[in-house]
Amino acid sequence: MTSRLPAHRSTTRHAQAIYPGGGGGGGGYGGRGVFIGRQSTGGAFCFDPWSLYAEGALDDPNMIVLGTLGQGKSALVKTLVWRMLLFGRRAFILDVKREYGPLCAAAGVTPVSLAPGAGVRLNPLTSTPDTAGRVELLRAITATAIGDRLTQAEAAVLREALRRVCDVETEPTLPQIAGLLLAPTGDLAAILQTDVATLTGDARRAGLALQDLCEGPLAGIFDGPTSSGLDLDARLVVVDLHAVRDSPAVGILMTCATAWMSALLARLSVRPGPDRLINVADESWKIVQHAGLGEWFQANFKLARQFGVMNVIVLHKLADLRAAGSEGSRAARIAEGLIADASTRVIYHQDPSQAELTRSLLGLSGTEARLLTLLRRGQALWRVGSGSHVVEHYRSRLEARFTDTDSGMGVESHAPEPPRPGAPGSEERR
């Protein structure tokens, strides 16, 4: 006689408790790292790039986050930073849109606002302790201020001018370099095996560019020693560039601020451990499009493995990076290099017109590319190394408050709380 048991109904989320292999198991990452949300299979999704890199699942800890306006990419980045801070990590953020203020308030820190006449200065030449690093940064800033590549003579005179200023000053500044370029001394000319008149002509373009940088529209930002009282070694450092976001020189400001991050990385590298750094660069294409800065930025991007930093680039669409330069140009090649150096790609809803470009640049399958046009708000395709996961981001009530970027429209930017009692942290979906 065959016994019949009553049918049992269950959700896939509960069924995975009986057969864990069907629930995703956190994307194969277990519980390591910070909680991001739920996979489409029902399993919890956690993420820690440093653990995954140590296990060989990632080639680097870098991340690109893509998504059209209002799909949740900013909320993801902010909650990722917030949760990483709770794990003892550090974060350095270039805030071009002035939207990280609430996160700073929650973390108990004050953003560093850079604006002409605001009284806050960041001297880029003191951010990098080694001489070679200072020279490369000075050359990158000067090339961008000129708007062209440096000549061999300009590159040489910048190197020697910086060396001369460092011999007599404990904190070299850009105005000191500009003054020496516009009025070179005889001994400087002798070092470069030329005469003063020739050197004056060779250095004039670079000197005038640096002088305008210090005395022109951006006067008061990086034309002197760094302002006292700035805690640039805090657990969370947010540099607010909103006041100059439309300036042609915003790329220079982003680079000068990033130079401070590089110095922090160098200090952290001597004591590796939980003190890992997350470096968030919104609108990075503004750096890439400038001659000189793009190469410098890419070089720092490639130092992720050496210093253990997680670089996060936030974009609306990959066409933003492509717009940095024409196809085949140096800027375009740098942009594509940044994409290649990010092993984690988080892609929110994309317009169908962008699906093919996204597929080709990120190596997505046809199914994944079509999926991008169907994702709803708060859902993203996570390409982590060779793995692919559809994840719905969850936020706590506190996180929902400091990630709301739609408050000016008088609407809630998040979906209602999931109707599941006892959900982790009473999270809200995003």
Q: Which helix (H) or strand (E) holds 260?
A: helix 250-268
Token digits for 393?
A: 């981001």
| 84, 236 contact by CB (below 8 A) | no
CA 256/CA 270 separation, integer angstroms: 23
Which architecture characterizes domain 58-111+235-243+270-412 according to CATH? 3-Layer(aba) Sandwich (3.40)
Backbone torsion region of residue 41, taken as left when φ is above 0, otherwise alpha when ψ lies between -120 and 50, otherwise beta: alpha
Q: Does 162 score more than 60 pLDDT? A: yes
pTM of the predicted protein model: 0.75
CA 162/CA 182 separation, integer angstroms: 14
Q: For residues 281 and 258, which has the higher predicted lDDT (pLDDT)?
A: 281
- Provide the pLDDT confidence category of residue 1 given band limits of 50, 70 and 90: low
What residues have CB less than 8 Å from 238, skipping those under 6 apart? Answer: 93, 95, 100, 101, 103, 104, 109, 111, 112
Alpha carbons within 13 angstroms on the beta-carbon side of residue 58 total: 26
Chain mean pLDDT for the chain: 79
CA 196/CA 284 separation, integer angstroms: 40
- Provide the pLDDT confidence category of residue 190 given band limits of 50, 70 and 90: very high
Closest by Cα among 179, 188, 162 to 214: 179
Tens digits of per-residue pLDDT, 364-383?
Answer: 888 898 899 899 999 999 99
- Give the three-state DSSP class for 373: coil
- Give the three-state DSSP class for 274: coil
- Provide the pLDDT confidence category of residue 290 given band limits of 50, 70 and 90: low
Choose the weakest-confidence range: 21-35, 76-90, 153-167, 359-373: 21-35
In the predicted model, what is the mean pLDDT of residues 174-179? 95
- Provide the pLDDT confidence category of residue 25 given band limits of 50, 70 and 90: very low
Tens digits of per-residue pLDDT, 319-359?
Answer: 666 555 555 566 667 777 777 788 999 999 988 888 888 88
Q: How far is CA 313 from the centre of its chain?
A: 5
CA 81/CA 279 separation, integer angstroms: 9
In the predicted model, what is the mean pLDDT of residues 40-48? 89
- Give the three-state DSSP class for 180: helix
In the predicted model, what is the mean pLDDT of residues 88-98? 86
Q: How far is CA 352 from the centre of its chain?
A: 26
- Provide the pLDDT confidence category of residue 418 given band limits of 50, 70 and 90: very low
- DSSP state letter for 68: -
Tens digits of per-residue pLDDT, 292-322?
Answer: 556 666 776 776 777 778 888 887 777 666 5
Alpha carbons within 13 angstroms on the beta-carbon side of residue 241 total: 27
Q: Does 123 score more than 90 pLDDT? A: no
In the predicted model, what is the mean pLDDT of residues 101-127? 86
Alpha carbons within 13 angstroms on the beta-carbon side of residue 355 total: 16
